Amino acid sequence: MALLNGQSAEEIAHEIMEKIEDRVIEIRGDGYQALEALARHENRETISLRGENWYNKNKEHLETVCLSDILVGKHKSLDKYLKEREVQKSWELFRVLVAKGVNQDEALKSVFPEGVPAPKK
């Protein structure tokens, strides 16, 4: 069997499964009430169409999906913030280099080797 970076397909699959394994977490009472309210709000149209019994049967799944969506959204916003902060620091470095007498073109090439980032929309 072919090896990838010295690992067999089974070893790679085992590592991936360990990283994506579901975990049980505990949520305090007030946090759980907030999660329940958010899950209910997020699915309000479906609940009104299918009824309260449907919601009660699927409550755990809907709350899990809601919490997952919240965490993924928070992570995306953190990534976006960190990238913007990195660009901001690069522009500050560019200004320092220009203030010290470095040619603007050379400063841009040294600060942004892959090219100047597009402006925010």
Q: What is the pLDDT of residue 16?
A: 81
Tokens representing 41 are 């709000």
Identify whether 14 is part of a domain.
Answer: yes
Task: Render pLDDT for 63-110 as a digit per residue (tens, 0 to 9).
Answer: 999 999 999 999 999 999 999 999 999 999 999 999 999 999 999 999
Q: What is the pLDDT of residue 17?
A: 79
Identify whether 42 is part of a domain.
Answer: yes
Identify whether 120 is part of a domain.
Answer: no
Q: What is the pLDDT of residue 8?
A: 81
Q: Report the Cα 72 to chain-centroid distance in Å.
A: 5
Query: pTM for this structure?
Result: 0.68
Residues 71-105: b if buried by 16+ CB within 10 A, e if exposed: eeeeeeeeeeeeeeeebeeeeeebeebeeeeeeee
Residue 115 has pLDDT above 90, yes or no: no
Distance between CA atoms of residues 83 and 76, nearest Å:
11
Distance between CA atoms of residues 43 and 110, nearest Å:
50
Tokens representing 73 are 């959204």
CB 67 within 8 A of CB 58: no
Identify whether 35 is part of a domain.
Answer: yes
Which structural domain range is residue 97 located in? 9-111
Identify whether 101 is part of a domain.
Answer: yes
Identify whether 4 is part of a domain.
Answer: no
**Total domains, the chain:** 1
Task: Render pLDDT for 32-44 as a digit per residue (tens, 0 to 9).
Answer: 999 999 999 999 9
Identify whether 79 is part of a domain.
Answer: yes
- Per-residue confidence at 13, pLDDT binned at 50, 70, 90? confident
